[in-house]
């Protein structure tokens, strides 16, 4: 799985766990909802700056965001 898809899946999982709509998270992250759709589906190559805003919008930080089995090395 590509890193874009892994990031998108992690965002989707965290967003749903918080019962946030895509629109609500996009608003909290200061990004367009259609852009958020592209990020969650792995179709957008999100910049570190935008990813930081999304992670903050989820109430997370980079360490907790990437400390997930989704990002473990595939062997």
* Confidence grade of residue 74 (pLDDT, cut at 50, 70, 90): low
What is the pLDDT at residue 73? 72
- What pTM, to 2 d.p., does this model score? 0.90
**How far is residue 28's CA from residue 56's CA, in Å, rounded to a whole number?**
8
Query: Which are the contacts of 11, defined by CB distance < 8 A and separation ≥ 6?
Result: 25, 39, 40, 54, 58
Q: What mean pLDDT do residues 57-64 have?
A: 95
Cβ atoms of 39 and 54 within 8 Å: the answer is: yes
Query: Which are the contacts of 55, defined by CB distance < 8 A and separation ≥ 6?
Result: 61, 62, 65
* Confidence grade of residue 71 (pLDDT, cut at 50, 70, 90): confident
């Amino acid at each position: 799985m590509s890193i874009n898809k892994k990031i998108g899946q992690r965002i989707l999982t965290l967003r749903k766990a918080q019962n946030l709509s895509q629109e609500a998270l996009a608003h909290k992250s200061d990004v367009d909802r259609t852009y958020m759709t592209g990020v969650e589906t792995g179709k957008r190559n999100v910049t570190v700056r935008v990813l930081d805003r999304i992670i903050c919008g989820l109430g997370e930080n980079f360490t907790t965001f990437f400390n997930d089995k989704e990002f473990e090395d595939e062997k």
